[in-house]
Amino acid sequence: MSLKINSEEAAAGLRFTEITDEKFNIEAIVIRFITELDEKDSQLYTFVTSLLAESNAKYPDRAQLAARLAGLYGAGLYSIAYRAGDKLVTGLAVNAISDSFTIDKENISDECAELLLDCIFSPDMSGGVFCQRYFDQKKRELIDKINGAADNRHLYAVNRSGRQAFKGEPAAVNLPGTLENAEAITEQTAYEAYNRLLDSAYISVSFIGEGKNVKAKELIKERLLKLCAERGRDRQTIRSFVSPSKCKSEPLKLREEIEQSQSKLIMYFKTDSDEFFAHKLMCAMFGGTPFSKLFSNVREKLSLCYYCQSSYADLKYTMAVDSGVEFGNEEKAEAEIIRQLEAMQNGDFTDEELENTKRYLRSGALANYDTPEGLNTWYFYEHARGTEYSPRQVIEFTERLTREDVIRSARSFKLDTIYELVPQDAQSGGEENA
């Protein structure tokens, strides 16, 4: 294995991470802007980065940019936006096959890097603000997205419940944002947000792939170092995104109705313990594998659902249990989920279950070594947690955990929020009219 990983804080507020392995046949560059989650700015930053990916001053027409990307062997250039704890991550990324896999060994990696930089630093402007050409389209698209938030009922339930589970915290901020704020965005406010983003964000850049794009890396580094040097003041380096969410004194229970066929049930449990590795293991044993407590009991034994799974949001110290159940069975499923967590708390699991789960996690962690995406995500979240562990190191820590660690982890979780999204009319999920 020729994997090499190198991270450096290149300047105040600027971090470079290089992940290279000769077995990969692509080169990817991800530029992330990390800011605090905030109701108004998060929407603006997300909007602005999506606009930047549409065109730039050199390729002001979307079709021109698409043609350029096609000519670079179908390179992908796209914006990113997601939440990590109480932080917002926005940015742009480019990826393409590595130069050695092009038909005539052409150099496309430098051009990909230049295209990415042009999109970020040379947007298509008119009269000192973003050009209206795609501004209007992207604004309409944002409004459509907000209006269509419930189209995917499962995601809608996840978002709605998250707002309640993290009420009063930045993590409750809904990424598409509010309709009112979206309608108020102008070319001017968007351009101001763009400048604010470049000026204030902590910037984390990852280079992932075969690693032969030396000049491309230099181009990116040089330009971002210049940006940081130009910024008016030093930006604080973010060491960790961890921001534990405090458990409510009494669990909150909410029920909403919507036109759908199946109820969506989401439960949140919170801990105040920082035993990250134990929580990951406990959560996997509880509901993160096809042989977990939830899978074996809620799905297989009671046939209550098709999916019932738990996931641990380590940056918020929060475990979510997510399920789709027949209307009318919500209480039964809730009771069984609680019963299975109690089983974990009482140590009602075998050593075999414990070892099998460790093995499952081991396999999952090692699999990250095989894809650029896996390694990119792994090391980004390591940084978000304030650590630098490799998958193999995490496996070692997990191996050392005992059943007592798992029991202690399970006992530290308290029920915080129960959210049910139930069908308005249990009989129908749609009606033919033409």
Partner 1 sequence: MREDRFDIVRDERTSRSYKIVHHSSGLDILLAPMKDFVQTSAMIGTKYGSVNNCFKTDEDEDFVRVPDGIAHYLEHKLFENDDSDVFELFAETGADANAMTGFENTIYLFSCTENFCDSLRILLDFVQKPYFTQENVDKERGIIAQEIKMTLDLPKRRCFFELLNAMYHVHPIKIDIAGSVESIEEITPELLYKCYDSFYDLNNMALAIAGNFDEEEALAICDELLVPCKDKKLEVSFPDEPYEVVKRRTELKFSVGVPMFEIGFKCRPAEEKLMVKREVEADLLLSLLAGRMSPMYKELTSGGLINSELGREVFDSRGVFSLILSGESNDPDAVLECVLKHIRLARENGLDRAQFELLKKAEYGMTVRELNTPDGYAENMLAFHFYGLDTFELQRRIAQVTFEDIEKALDELIDTENYSISIIR
Between residue 330 and residue 369, which ones bind partner 1 under the rule CB under 8 A? 352, 356-357, 359-360, 362-364, 366-367, 369
257-296 positions binding partner 1, by CB under 8 A: 258-262, 289-291, 295-296
Minimum CB separation of residue 312 from partner 1 in Å reads: 18
Q: Which of 83, 299, 316, 383 binds partner 1 (CB under 8 A)?
A: 299
Minimum CB separation of residue 245 from partner 1 in Å reads: 28
304-333 positions binding partner 1, by CB under 8 A: 304-307, 324-326
| Closest to 254 measured CA to CA, from 336, 160, 322 | 160
Minimum CB separation of residue 123 from partner 1 in Å reads: 16
Does 71 bind partner 1 (CB under 8 A)? Our answer is yes
Does 178 bind partner 1 (CB under 8 A)? Our answer is no
Minimum CB separation of residue 197 from partner 1 in Å reads: 21
Minimum CB separation of residue 54 from partner 1 in Å reads: 7
Per-residue tokens: 101: 């896999």
Tally Cβ neighbours within 10 Å of residue 433: 4
DSSP 210: S
Does 82 bind partner 1 (CB under 8 A)? Our answer is no
Q: How far apart are CA 42 and CA 290, in angstroms?
A: 36
CB closer to partner 1 out of 321 and 384: 321
Per-residue tokens: 119: 């999109």
Residue 48, amino acid: V
Q: Which of 66, 198, 225, 228 binds partner 1 (CB under 8 A)?
A: 66
CB closer to partner 1 out of 12 and 66: 66
The answer for 202, left when phi > 0, alpha when psi is -120 to 50, beta otherwise, is beta
Q: Which of 273, 371, 377, 387 binds partner 1 (CB under 8 A)?
A: 371
Q: How far apart are CA 287 and CA 310, in angstroms?
A: 5
Q: How far apart are CA 419 and CA 268, in angstroms?
A: 9
Does 25 bind partner 1 (CB under 8 A)? Our answer is yes
402-431 positions binding partner 1, by CB under 8 A: 429-431
DSSP 75: -
Candidates 233-241, 253-261, 336-344, 397-405 — which segment interacts with partner 1 by CB under 8 A?
Answer: 253-261
Cβ atoms 421, 258 nearer than 8 A: yes
Residues 6+ apart with CB under 8 A from 30: 80, 91, 93, 205, 206, 208, 376
Q: How far apart are CA 327 and CA 349, in angstroms?
A: 30
End-to-end CA distance of the chain: 59
Q: How far apart are CA 263 and CA 161, in angstroms?
A: 13
Counting residues that bind partner 1 (by CB under 8 A) gives 79
CB closer to partner 1 out of 233 and 434: 434
Q: How far apart are CA 303 and CA 301, in angstroms?
A: 6
Quick one: which H or E segment has residue 406? helix 403-412
Minimum CB separation of residue 260 from partner 1 in Å reads: 5
DSSP 296: I
Q: Which of 6, 9, 57, 70 binds partner 1 (CB under 8 A)?
A: 70
Cβ atoms 57, 125 nearer than 8 A: yes
91-130 positions binding partner 1, by CB under 8 A: 96-97, 101, 103
Cβ atoms 309, 288 nearer than 8 A: yes
CB closer to partner 1 out of 127 and 430: 430
CB closer to partner 1 out of 146 and 406: 146
CB closer to partner 1 out of 239 and 359: 359
143-162 positions binding partner 1, by CB under 8 A: 144-154
Does 433 bind partner 1 (CB under 8 A)? Our answer is yes
